[in-house]
Structure 1
Amino acid sequence: MNVLSLRGIRKSFGAHVVLRDVSLEVAEGECVVLIGASGSGKSTLLRCVNLLEVVDDGVVELDGQDITDPRVNADEVRSRMGMVFQSYNLFPHLSVLQNITLAPVRVHKVARAEATEWARAALERVGLADKANARPDDLSGGQQQRVAIARAMVNSPRLLLLDEVTSALDPELVGEVLDLLQGLREDGMTMILNTHEMGFARSVADEVCFLSDGVILERGPAQQVLGAPQEERTQRFLSRLLH
């Protein structure tokens, strides 16, 4: 069974159609990378998967459950996914450890001692075990993004969603975050991410999907889509990005 299935997803904001008839399947342990110009619908698609946006039409299934059913408990669904944003979204007045335990304790009613144990394990995994008591402002951008990834991983999610997680970082900090994601990929984490880092996409993606005007215009293995794209718009996008 696929971890995630999208069928016929449509999403508009007013008269502006952002996603039109998007279908996608993500198998367990698979990494799918979304590429495309700004405004092509990549971030909106991730937000629809995480129920931060309500789809206008279509079905999103997580482990076979229709999570677009309005009767579904969105908080329970989100407890089975982790989402990482490009701007970290950490609370500056809380310590690193408090940032990571906040949702498990407040939203999902996990006992604080258990949540703390999970959080320390997640910090160990992202190489920041010694930063548990630091404040976000004491950390570099790369470290803050790794904390955000630890927060998304704290409850061992079925699916990790990553929205341009390196775009706000200084170039010299991008590598440490990409190395971490490469490690998660090797550990078998199921992931969907959008990125402009084509070298990274080539190394981690099982499938690359090129979005244009709200549709998946081209999809396939990374070597094919990035190395020998068939669609003219994919070719133009990659030539602008790579030169």
Structure 2
Amino acid sequence: MTLLRIENLWKDYHGHSVLRGVDLAVAPHEVVCLIGASGSGKSTLLRCVNLLETVDDGAIFLDEEEITSPRADADAVRKRIGMVFQSYNLFPHMTVLDNICLAPVKAHGVPRGRAEEEARELLTRFGLADKAGAYPDRLSGGQQQRVAIIRALATRPRLMLLDEVTSALDPALVAEVLGVIRELREGGMTMILATHEMGFAREIADTVCFLDEGVLRERGTPEQIFTEPRHERTRAFLSTVIASRRL
């Protein structure tokens, strides 16, 4: 059984193929980590899944519904998907509580009182109960990213997409965001993460996918990918990453 299925996905920008024939199946409760160099297509793949980009060929299915069909309701699809970007995207003029409640109330029709109650429960769960009335500019980067994740969770998505959510953070703040993602995994959330955190990908992923120049070159368990990669390009990428960490 699959929750998400991607078949022969192609995406072009100005005549350049950013994604080339990507196939991927994600089961319920599975955590998939996308690794690869900058520009390899990781973010574009996530944006295609959330219908923020139109695909040029191929198809994407969510719960066996083809969401890339012209007849698909993009807004209805996005209600089932939570997406978190590297740049937080919180509304600066709204409090933390208002940021979290906006989508449940406006897009999902949840009564404001219930939305606030559930938002406060999430804030408490992730150690931010005292920040409900704060504005984003009063929070650290790590706190803002945790709020962004909570905001995505507040709509009770079937699938979470996380796009390099630690790349804009100071190293000291990375651990608190990774802790939230670790807890989501333990709770059974289905997730696809684009990440440069190789150690974390190895720890949290059920499946690791190596993207290279828009091609899904290799996929496997973390143990297989990080200890015995089969593809020459995977081996070269991991060697470069390991060498850079030693500098």
Query: Which bracket does the TM-score occupy, shorter chain normalised?
Result: over 0.9
Q: Match of 1:41?
A: 41
Q: Match of 1:95?
A: 95
Secondary structure in structure 2 of the residue aligned to 1:58: strand
Q: Match of 1:51?
A: 51
Q: Which amino acid aligns with 2:220?
A: G
Percent identity between the two aligned chains: 63
Q: Match of 1:178?
A: 178
Contact 2:81-2:161 at 8 Å conserved across structures: yes
Secondary structure in structure 2 of the residue aligned to 1:157: coil
Contact 2:108-2:155 at 8 Å conserved across structures: no
List runs of 5+ in structure 2 lacking aligned partners: none
Q: Match of 2:109?
A: 109
Runs (4+) off by over 6 Å: none
- Using structure 2 for the length normalisation, give the TM-score: 0.96
Contact 1:3-1:64 at 8 Å conserved across structures: yes
**How far off its partner does 1:103 sit?**
1.7
Secondary structure in structure 2 of the residue aligned to 1:71: coil
Partner deviation per Cα, 1:59-114 (whole Å, 9 max, x = no partner) = 11111111111222211111111000001001111100111111222233322222
Give the distance between the partners of 2:80 and 2:122, measured in 1 at CA: 16
Give the distance between the partners of 2:20 and 2:126, measured in 1 at CA: 36
**Structure 1 segment 124-135 matched on structure 2, within 5 A:** 124-135=124-135
**How far off its partner does 1:131 sit?**
0.7
Q: Which amino acid aligns with 2:95?
A: S
**How far off its partner does 1:122 sit?**
2.1
Partner deviation per Cα, 1:162-213 (whole Å, 9 max, x = no partner) = 0000000000000111111111111111000011111100000000000001
Structure 1 vs Structure 2 CA RMSD: 1.0
Q: Which amino acid aligns with 1:80?
A: R
Q: Match of 2:193?
A: 193
Give the distance between the partners of 2:95 and 2:48, measured in 1 at CA: 30
Q: Which amino acid aligns with 2:157?
A: P
- Using structure 1 for the length normalisation, give the TM-score: 0.97
Give the distance between the partners of 1:74 and 1:113, measured in 2 at CA: 27
Q: Which amino acid aligns with 1:145?
A: Q
